[in-house]
Chains A and B, each alone.
Chain A
């Protein structure tokens, strides 16, 4: 079955770069039609899509955060990595990675990882 799990620091300082890793199983990112995305959720607030990457290395980013985000994949390790530069306290959120169905919807999600930005 498909599983995903996020890993990375729980606390980062303002201006630092956040690196999150999504390790998955049950599918391959080298298979046509497959994609993985990142979504975040500030405490008590709504979901916000950040980025996604497809099997063919096509990458899409949220326009409002594009200058700060980089998404990459390591097919051999079954991992997707998201980096976000210049972190700010408003970036405090639970960060989720998720498998894509129909190229644009998220059908399997990781448990999420809470990242706090504070000095």
Chain B
């Protein structure tokens, strides 16, 4: 089973700042990685799939990069609505599909 590790666990930033979130896989997942955003009491929302493709309706300030074992989600300038928990998910060697433990982006 491929294990995903996310860092940092918590990222404290101010609106307008750049956020850089990391997801590392225990073995290569090629480019088969997605990112989700989850706000309290809500279902997750797909942001990025196949490492760098924005899902429908996702603002351009969200971008994904990486391949193999190291991936990054970048939010270029944080908006108030971006403070949430972010999860990565891989589908390379499955089942199972696996999710990372999440990174919480909170207001500094």
Contacts and interface: CB of A to CB of B under 8 A. Distances in A.
Contacts of B94: 60, 104
Contacts of B45: 109
Nearest to B45: A109
A61 interface: yes
B43 A63 contact: no
A101 interface: yes
A49 B1 CA distance: 13
B64 interface: no
Interface string A75-119: 000000000000000000000101001101111011110000000
A106 B46 contact: yes
Interface string A37-59: 10000000011110010000000
A63 B98 CA distance: 11
A102 B89 CA distance: 13
Contacts of B49: 101-102, 105, 107
Q: Size class of A's contact patch?
A: 20 to 34
Contacts, number: 59
B58 to A, nearest CB: 10
Interface stretch (B14-22, B73-81, B99-107): B99-107
Among B32, B89, B100, which residue has the most Cβ atoms of chain A within 10 A? Answer: B89
By secondary structure, the B interface counts as: loop
Interface in B84-108: 87, 89, 91, 94-102
B23 interface: no
B43 A105 contact: no
Interface of B: 1, 32, 34, 36, 43-46, 49-50, 55-56, 87, 89, 91, 94-102
Interface of A: 37, 46-49, 52, 60-64, 96, 98, 101-102, 104-107, 109-112
